[in-house]
Amino acid sequence: MSPVPYADRIPVHRTLPEHGLPRDEVLGILRSMATEEDATWETGKCSGTMYCGDHDHYDFLNEAFSLFSHVNVLQRDMCPSATRFESEIIAMTLDLLHADAVEGSEPVGLVSSGGTGSICHAMLAYRDHASATRGVVRPNVIKPETAHPAFDKACHLFGIELRVAPVDPVTTRVDTDWVAGAVDDATVALIGSACNYGYGTVDPIEALSDIALEHGIGLHVDGCLGGWILPFGQELGYDIPLFDFRVPGVTSISADTHKYGYALKGTSVLSFRDRALRNAQYFFNTTWSGGKYCSPGMDGSRSGGLLAATWASMVQLGREGYRGYAEQIFATSAAMQASVRSHPQLRILGDPSFLFSFTSDEFDIYHVNDFLRTRGWRLNGQQYPNALHMAVTRPQTRPGVAEAFAVDLADAVAHAVAHAAETPSSGAVYGGVAGGMTDEADEFIRMMMGQMMDAQQELPADA
């Protein structure tokens, strides 16, 4: 990948141009890049990332976004529509997650900027609520090793001790006995995934609930990935364990509307069983000379366009639309999993649903990845053990994609068998950033991140 993409075709701007470019020229540049990049996932060979993949739907959302893109939702007196959009997004999500089963408290929520935003807000709420109600000064939370690194980030930012529980290597689900033994007086919350990013498996939420209730602590379910598709899988009759507010110990759930909610990137819903927990993470300053300041979350200004587009996606698709897409996705995932199971050299990890992960005990699975890349596939890499996963989304449900996967996988396994003694060229990757590295590689990772952020400053003068 070039440190400065498109530098060979599109002028590089290291300073603000003295004279602006014509709008048509600017839009032409943008269309050129977008068209080229969309082609990488329109084949249906890209795991996750593009959850909708429907340009007509994107056009609809973009039009909704454009009507409110200039609006700052902090100014609710000028844009009361933001209150309508946000409250209904939260209400519809609470309904999907069976908040009607809650008794004795009032379920509420907030809209964040994404999965990491929802997870960070949840950890902040648990920290501050425990400080105010229990006097906890050095809080800790317990997460499965498979839970998303956003929990690590949140604990790093908010000074929370993170205790990492092992998972069963066969089921890939968290060891609840270990969790129970790790709880102490400073534990403010437990964490479970529904489903986890790596393997597509659901942690034993009901067992975690029992532990949480016994100790009077919170239980956050990370449904960022599965929160907007697993409920429809349950409606369709798939064997998906309970993970939502029907489980009495669940006190908060994150669910990304910008994934299987088919909204534009930049929204997630964090739901709470009780209003007091959500209110604990509010920030306000009533003594500032500029006036009384308050915001419902860490973000200040937010675009009304994202709220409008998310609301538009939800009310336009409705339960029938979401259920129909879920049915296609689950069926496609089952077909692709069957292709994996047809090869004795491959092994699926755990008991997945729409997202599945597989490895091999006979060769390094990255040989399979190396070959699949030559056929245009972009699977996600994992480590400990080395594995590949496919998060099935709507692009994979297109005619012929699952069949192409079966053919290409068979050729990839043959390639892996033939090259088993060699070292594969690929490794574990998350979010497009190279992984599969040990702690000694921290500085290398910092260098890579810096190159992405600082490409313009380091561009040769003659470029």
Tally the residues of the chain. 463
Listed range (75-89, 99-113, 355-369) with the worst mean pLDDT? 75-89
The answer to whether 142 and 188 have CB atoms below 8 angstroms apart is no
Q: What is the DSSP string of 32-72?
A: HHHHHHHTTTTTS-B-SS-S---HHHHHHHHHHHHHHTT-B
Q: What is the mean pLDDT of the chain?
A: 92
Q: Please, what are the domains in the chain?
A: 80-313 (3.40.640.10), 318-434 (3.90.1150.10)
What DSSP string runs through 382-433?
Answer: ETTTTEEEEE--GGGGSTTHHHHHHHHHHHHHHHHHHTTTSPPS---EETTE
Res 448: pLDDT: 54
Cβ atoms 160, 167 nearer than 8 A: no
pLDDT at residue 38 is higher than 60 = yes
**Residue among 347, 372, 369 nearest 360 (CA):** 347
- The C-alpha atoms of residue 180 and residue 249 are separated, in whole angstroms, by 14
Q: Of 392, 360, 438, 302, give the one whose Cα is nearest residue 48.
A: 392
Using the predicted structure, report yes or no on whether residue 435 has a pLDDT greater than 50: no
pLDDT digit string, tens, across residues 405-433: 999 999 999 999 999 999 999 875 455 43
The pLDDT-based confidence of 298 (bands split at 50, 70, 90) is: confident
Q: What's residue 377's pLDDT?
A: 97
Q: Across residues 19-34, what is the average pLDDT? A: 96
Residue 285: band (very low, low, confident or very high) from pLDDT cuts 50, 70, 90:
confident
The CA R_g of the chain, rounded to the nearest whole Å, is 23
Band of pLDDT at residue 352, cut at 50, 70 and 90: very high
| Six-digit token string for 176 | 């609840």
pLDDT for residue 454 is more than 80: no
> pTM of the predicted model, to two decimals?
0.92
